[in-house]
Amino acid sequence: MKTLLAGVVGWPVAHSLSPRLHGYWLAAHNIAGSYVKLPVARQDFAYVVLALQRAGFAGVNVTIPHKEAAFALAGQIDDAARATQAANLLVFQEDGTILARNTDVFGLRSSLENELGITTLKGRHVVIAGAGGAARAAVVALCALEAQRITVLNRSQGRAEALVRTLASSFQVQLATGNFADWPDLAADVALLVNCTSIGLGHEPQFMLDLKLLPATARVCDVVYQRSGTALVRDARQLGLPAIDGLGMLMYQAVPSFAAFFGITPEVSPALRRYLEVDLA
């Protein structure tokens, strides 16, 4: 029986939970397959991807800092990747072409739907902190959930404005920008705050927005995952605000990847979350 091969490419990639996640599904479905971590420096990305394709891999997931390079490398692109100008999934097709997909959009949308319900954000105001690739995926996901107004805040407002310019013509939603100093004027009517900065990874001493300014009905989401939740998630819960960590997004974004690599659409379950939380601990 042929062993199906896939993996995750990043730099660094040692922290990735993806092999454990895909390994859980491989065992659950009794599939002869392997999913491995592939540390690849930025300058080697294109060469390594093509080598993996020739070596018989079904495809790879792509993480920091390669998502834009993955988008540029592909011969075919799905709508989510085109909207975000980034790809986290490369599928090696039988005719030799490479299909780029962005499943981060699906992952965040599905996580929010599961935690909040499909209509919770309809007609509401959402604030996104950050203006990088994760923020771009968040905008697309929140448009699909019919948020009425999305404000992108960033330390450099110019970067937020550049993000909005590339997306404004594609979606029927009010897109606005600002910097973190604008938060006190915005917080009172926010239904959801989404952190798409690197703060949850420990790159900053603390979150820059005061959660106490949020209404009691607001929710908080961090796209980063950590053991016991990031500081932002813990702070929100201490204030009585429902908070969503990035583990749900991780699990849901992996579903279409696993289906593309191994031919079966797996299930996101509480048992899977508990399994991954053991590894985080």
HEC states along the chain?
Answer: CCCEEEEEEECCCCCCCHHHHHHHHHHHCCCCEEEEEEECCHHHHHHHHHHHHHCCCCEEEECCCCHHHHHHHCCEECHHHHHHCCCCEEEECCCCCEEEECCHHHHHHHHHHHHHCCCCCCCCEEEEECCCHHHHHHHHHHHHCCCCEEEEECCCHHHHHHHHHHHHHHCCCEEEEECHHHHHHHHHHEEEEEECCCHHHCCCCCCCCCHHHCCCCCEEEECCCCCCCCHHHHHHHHCCCCEECCHHHHHHHHHHHHHHHHCCCCCCCHHHHHHHHHHHC
CB contact at 8 A, 33 and 262: yes
Q: How many Å separate Cα 115 from the centre of its chain?
A: 16
| CB-side neighbour CA atoms (13 Å) of 207 | 26
Q: Which two tokens stand for residue 189?
A: 């009517």
The dihedral formed by the CA atoms of 45, 204, 125 and 156, expressed in degrees to the nearest 10: -70
Marked catalytic residue, from 37, 67, 122, 212: 67
Q: Please confirm, yes or no, whether 67 is among the known catalytic residues.
A: yes
Active site residues: 67
